[in-house]
């Protein structure tokens, strides 16, 4: 066992017998820091009597994974957030992904996270729940796209991160897909129309935007002498209905009638 035969200093000496180590006496020597990390890792794992006990320990944090990651960082020297995630992922815990630079670049490009590892980790977990697949598989998928290296195989297909981002952006833009939801309340005072009818609109609707390009939504508006409901995508029973095109006005944060069809 490592702890039986080595401490930080003796492990460093063992390294020096097999590798050419410069400035070995420096406290910032990378081999010294590595030896310190190895010893602290062994000390932490030695607190568990079996793999089953370690598994039980990890599973206690299924509802608070960030707490487990923080705990590992405090127990193992030099283990940052991303490496702590990677440690668990590579041990077979599929609910963990490594928020490395590749995944961060992709998720930032699509505004799925902020520029920090915690946000990236949570965003992968959210995607995992949406697509009903493991965070591990999502991690491997994006790693393949970005690194070009097939997992566990000596095959390289080339890096395609920038191409992937560009192609998805083009697809989203062409389809005008919803990247951010805005749901302003329709206010009669904010409606601008040349129509002389008494149009009363109640409730809310959704308007979508991708970056700064707002899309047009279609609505079905009821006309009546009284305040009535507004139907979207429904003619409604016993009510006169017209088609209008509505547009989101950023200055008013409201929907306006652009044209009566």
Structure confidence by residue, pLDDT tens digits, 53-102: 999 999 999 999 999 999 999 999 999 999 999 999 999 999 999 999 98
Q: What is the pLDDT of residue 170?
A: 80
Q: What is the pLDDT of residue 247?
A: 59
The helix/strand/coil state of 148 is coil
Q: What is the pLDDT of residue 249?
A: 60
- For 163, phi then psi, to 5°, come to -65, -40
Q: What is the pLDDT of residue 147?
A: 84
Which residue ranges of the chain lie beneath pLDDT 50? 177-242, 261
- For 64, the token pair is 């608070």
- Sort 174 into a burial class: Cβ within 10 Å, 0-12 / 13-18 / 19+: exposed
Contacts 24+ apart (CB under 8 A), 237-245: 243/218, 244/193, 244/218, 244/219, 245/216, 245/218
Q: What is the pLDDT of residue 218?
A: 34
Strand partners for 259 = 245
Q: In what order do the strands lie in the sheet with 240-249?
A: 217-223, 240-249, 254-260
Q: In what order do the strands lie in the sheet with 213-214?
A: 180-182, 207-210, 213-214
- Sort 45 into a burial class: Cβ within 10 Å, 0-12 / 13-18 / 19+: middle
Q: Comparing C-alpha atoms, which of 245, 110, 81, 107 is closest to residue 177?
A: 110
248 CB neighbour count, 10 Å cutoff? 20
Q: Comparing C-alpha atoms, which of 121, 146, 115 is closest to residue 136?
A: 121
């Amino acid at each position: 066992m490592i702890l039986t035969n080595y401490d930080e200093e003796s492990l460093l000496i063992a390294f020096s017998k097999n590798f050419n180590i410069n400035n070995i006496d420096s406290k910032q020597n990378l081999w010294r820091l590595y030896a310190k990390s190895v010893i602290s890792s062994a000390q932490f794992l030695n607190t568990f009597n079996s793999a089953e006990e370690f598994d039980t320990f990890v599973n206690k944090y299924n509802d608070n994974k960030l707490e487990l990651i923080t705990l590992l960082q405090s127990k193992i020297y030099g283990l940052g957030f991303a490496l702590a995630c990677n440690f668990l992922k590579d041990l077979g815990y599929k609910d963990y992904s490594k928020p490395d630079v590749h995944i961060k670049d992709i998720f930032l490009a699509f505004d799925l996270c902020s520029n920090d590892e915690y946000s990236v980790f949570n965003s992968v977990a959210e995607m995992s729940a949406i697509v009903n697949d493991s965070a591990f598989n999502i991690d491997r998928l994006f790693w393949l796209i970005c690194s070009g290296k097939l997992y566990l195989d000596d095959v390289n297909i080339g890096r395609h991160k920038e191409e992937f981002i560009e192609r998805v952006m083009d697809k989203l833009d062409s389809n005008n897909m919803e990247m951010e939801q805005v749901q302003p309340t329709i206010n009669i005072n904010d409606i601008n129309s040349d129509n002389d009818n008494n149009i009363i609109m109640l409730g809310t609707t959704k308007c979508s935007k991708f970056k700064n390009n707002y899309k047009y939504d279609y609505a079905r508006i009821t006309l009546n002498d009284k305040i009535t409901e507004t139907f979207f995508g429904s003619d409604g029973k016993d009510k006169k209905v017209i088609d209008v095109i509505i547009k989101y006005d950023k200055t008013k944060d409201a929907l306006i009638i652009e044209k009566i069809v």
